[in-house]
Structure 1
Amino acid sequence: MLITHRAAVLGDPIEHSLSPAIHNAGYAAAGLTQWEYSRIRCNAEELPGVVGSADESFRGFSVTMPGKFAALEFADVSSERAKLIGSANTLVRQGSGWFADNTDCDGVLGALAEIGVTELPNGRAVLVGAGGTARPALWALAKLGMKHVSVVARSERVYALEPLAAALGIEFVWVKFSAPNLHDIAGASDVLVSTVPSAALESVYTFLARAPKILDVIYNPWPTPLVKAAKDRGAEAVGGLSMLLHQAVGQFEQFTGRRPDVDSMRQALPM
């Protein structure tokens, strides 16, 4: 079959990306036999050249680190949420230009929906970490109606989130890893989202596991110590593979203009 429509994931390293398996499963289920999704090794400096020189068959690009900031800067037009967050994981061809979005937001929302978190007006959340993934997570929590978020982080780098929190109408509180009431804060929350490697939580994961519902964006290895401890306490938890799936669903829709068979895409993952 002649391939007439293409998409690809850009990143460095990229060899172990699961995105081709997810997207190609979606194409197959939708009967999009002329679509193909691949990997392209590409760092931030190379991104403008790679995307700018892509032929007309390329309809979109998924962007992983280290290119998410470069993707937003490269785009001709950007979604409001990508602008707010300050990075983009999605580039979609629009006419002669490129549109940037951040479907990591959809990834967080979709993963949380799997554990019954779909609406929490005036709810309380705990966000662990203040790096790149924390920003779309904060956006998603605001979308769910959260008004109070405790951000657990080690350093004053956490204050880089403050302008975003203010723009989203969220009350922002920094909680240090050493806080003596960390277990109480987690236990009083409606949901906890962790965006940091498991090793970073070695001294505190048992405290954080008191949250009733948890999204841990890590998926290898799985389950993480945080998730195992939470489930041992009877909590509901979901991991990074679900987030990866749902951000891909958002990209699929923008690339193809069609709603995918989510179950077919899910079956392509090692869940």
Structure 2
Amino acid sequence: MSKEKFFTDLKSIRKAYYEKHYYEDKKSWSEIAKMLGTYPNKVKRDAKNLGIKSRDKSEAQKIALEKGRTSHPTAGKKHSDETKFKISESQGAVWDSMDESELENRSDIARKCWNKKTDEQKAEFLKKGGQAIQEAARTGSKVEKEMFEYLVSKGYRVDRHKEHILKNEKFHIDLYIRNISMAIEVDGPMHFSPVYGEEKLKKRQAADLSKNGLILSSGMVLVRVKLVKRGSQRFHRYIMNELQKIIDSVEKTFPEEGKRYFEI
């Protein structure tokens, strides 16, 4: 079709043409302009005057990916450790810089997203969340696993879920560094939030206090790591750094009785 004839056609004919190729065939304005032998902005302006609404950027990118007109900018690509570190630090800095009103706004957005879910979607989400918590309780959280790998890489002799070391054999120790007689307990949300209800929380906290007493009375150093923040890589690095500081201090001078309890 020649561009001279097309732009002198009736508006109804031009509008039908745009609707067919832009909406139905999902062509871009550049592709339509090429078909007409003209430039994209002219086609886009003409279509706008005829009431044809252009796609927003997100929708245009989605269709371009589906049609193979462009490739996903990160598909099949892996970030280097240095890039991951920079991204993590940058995102963490954004969260740290938020004031209360901004944090509340984020929470409000999350609540609205939650309220838009169907009952079935909510039930499935809660089910998966419960399964993840139960699995972490059995095998240890992601932070615990990372901590174990970190300590082993540093040359420490570490036991995971050490049993039969305390007088109450129902208790196990999450991580035990034999070199320096240090017990590390990694506390997820169920240790300080009513994940399973207030009654379960009270029992859990009472058990934690009892466990603290048994560990400390055995002459060990106890470090409790409380996972109170979102599990970002930045937060994980903070935990490792703080733990290393405590270990360095204990290795230098083993603390006297009454000063062997630490929290991160």
Higher relative contact order (CA 8 A, sep 6+): 1
Structure holding more helix per residue = 2
Query: Could you say which structure has the higher strand fraction?
Result: 1
Q: TM-score, normalised by structure 1?
A: 0.29
Give the TM-score taking structure 2 as reference length. 0.29
**Structure of greater Rg:** 2
